[in-house]
Structure 1
């Protein structure tokens, strides 16, 4: 085959409708992939998430009646309650991790969904933590017209908690939260009760507490601090995996969960102790303790902590003590 015949066949192939269509599809595909799609949200329902919608749109083809929000928006969409200290913090951790990986970028606003329903605030404790972490007040976007979509120049959407993150990344996040919270409290002119908690936890080496949301404060202690947890009667059989959340939290934030005391004595339930109806009886029960057991347990925990403190006091406090020591 001569060079001329090869050239003729190549030109014929390029000119064929089938080849031209394939090239066109390839060009269109590349063009679409290179486009920046904007997230658009619509709906104002805080009781039924099925009436709230989302869509993607090109910047040049936004809906006629849409408004465009400039800057970065964080969109949280999950089943966690933002009023609960631990649940809310779990939902926020992935956003802080994203900021750590993106030059500490801060959001201009937040959009919160709970089971698809809009929420317009966080619990006071969580709000203070996020304010301290980002160094700015939180702005929650309110959709004022259910018929007008809102589009975002840049949006980060999270639909999970920190469960899928590595332990190293979680510890980075909690290190930042701890550092920022301490700096925030030192710089604040008014010492509210929440700020005093941060100060108190920074001086706490061993936290002894019943199971409950207050244990979320353990993330504000120094790394390698210890946690001792107490449960009322009945929790082991009836409370499910949620009863272990502070064991996980201690591990994720660099603390040491030193075990639990489960009171074998407590309120009497009229049903068998494996009946779910008994949980309402046991849930807020009083907790007693065995003095001999607790004495041995506390001696062991304090002894191990004393050794650790002598060995790594410098390492534990590295980067936490000054305003310039935080990662962001």
Structure 2
């Protein structure tokens, strides 16, 4: 019986030894796995280091900068400038690293010529990339830097994209303004902005396909822009359920006086309303109204513009809504004092937009009643930005009444261009998917 007792006494010791041995094997295996992981991670990092990265903001020329300067300009003639990656035009894959919202030199890009690094995140589909000197909230600035993607979509057999990557002077931006978001949504261009926030700062992110735009609609010919804005108007009205707003036999002329809050408002809105009323009272079939765009949702703005023949407004981003007016409509624009001498070419942007949208720009009213700048005359930039830029706009009632009366007398309802009866390009039924494989 003694051997049996001895074996029973040894059993716990053996079990403990097996547990210890199992722990040793487990720890050893874990060490091997960690070593293997470290090795693989090192190999992948080595592959990532094989890419040659450049800052998206190249400031070698002093205060000015070039966005993605390693991309060579194309020999385009009158059309928007696009650069294509991993498409029939180029086999290179575009990759990014960094997600700084404050320093564009910390956001980097590279081209994968042969393969995507093993530790890179490869995002499928098509990514649209754009940079702006200004912001993506202001309707004019955002339109100027993003509306070209509607042209890209029409030119690529109505292809749709999967995401958008936007930069402000090379700095990542996370949001689009509500106005431009609605315009792009209505024209089938993605408004899903990739923030890059979910990517670790050092991780490489590559795009299966990418389309890069550096200059918005800069350099695009008037003919191309007129076709572009005709389609934007058509698609946006269709999306909002808005027609032309007028009948072919409608002889009513509709005047809208745009009121603004805060900067560049009218000194006395009542005086402006009275001037418009005087003109409309002596013109048969003339209707007028005061408009506050800030009180209207997007489609209400589109509907209003579709029924407006003459738009009277102070210079400002709200004038971008003119792209939804009927061709042949008229624009009257007002400025505070100081703009003519100090604002440069930027003061003429809505005259250009009117031409691109097929409208008539009837000139300017420039208020001369603002007090002179109290600053040193050697600082014209400060005088403009701090004193003149957002001053309220006064009125010379005699001039405004005569000006508007002349525009009304020369406006013919029969000259109001009818919108084409054909369907808009790249029309998509609600819920349909027109992505290209």
Which TM-score applies when normalising by structure 1?
0.80
**Which residue in 1 is equivalent to 2:403?**
297
**Which residue in 2 is equivalent to 1:140?**
193
Displacement of 1:284 in angstroms is: 2.0
Choose which of 220, 223, 236 in structure 2 pairs with 1:181. 236
**Which residue in 1 is equivalent to 2:225?**
170
Distance of 1:273 and 1:230 partners within structure 2: 25
Matches within 5 A, 1:308-319: 309-311=413-415, 313=416, 315-319=417-421
Contact (CA 8 Å) 2:160, 2:190: kept in 1 or not? no
Secondary structure of the residue aligned to 1:162 is coil
Matches within 5 A, 1:57-76: 57-58=112-113, 61-76=115-130
**Which residue in 2 is equivalent to 1:159?**
214
Query: Structure 1 132/249 Cα, relative in aligned 2: closer, same or farther at 3 Å?
Result: same
Contact (CA 8 Å) 1:80, 1:91: kept in 2 or not? no
Displacement of 1:288 in angstroms is: 1.8
**Which residue in 2 is equivalent to 1:124?**
178
Contact (CA 8 Å) 2:161, 2:190: kept in 1 or not? no
Secondary structure of the residue aligned to 1:178 is helix
Secondary structure of the residue aligned to 1:41 is strand
Paired residues, number: 283
**Which residue in 1 is equivalent to 2:424?**
326
Displacement of 1:275 in angstroms is: 4.6
**Which residue in 2 is equivalent to 1:210?**
314
Range that drifts further, 75-84 or 268-277: 268-277
Contact (CA 8 Å) 1:224, 1:254: kept in 2 or not? yes
Larger Rg: 1 or 2? 2
Distance of 2:375 and 2:176 partners within structure 1: 38
Distance of 1:94 and 1:178 partners within structure 2: 14
Secondary structure of the residue aligned to 2:147 is helix
Distance of 2:195 and 2:395 partners within structure 1: 49
**5+ unaligned residues in a row in structure 1: which ranges?**
1-32
**5+ unaligned residues in a row in structure 2: which ranges?**
1-87, 243-294, 427-437
Distance of 1:266 and 1:272 partners within structure 2: 17
**Which residue in 1 is equivalent to 2:56?**
none
CA RMSD across the alignment:
2.2
Contact (CA 8 Å) 1:81, 1:87: kept in 2 or not? yes
**Which residue in 2 is equivalent to 1:37?**
92
**Greater percentage in helix:** 1
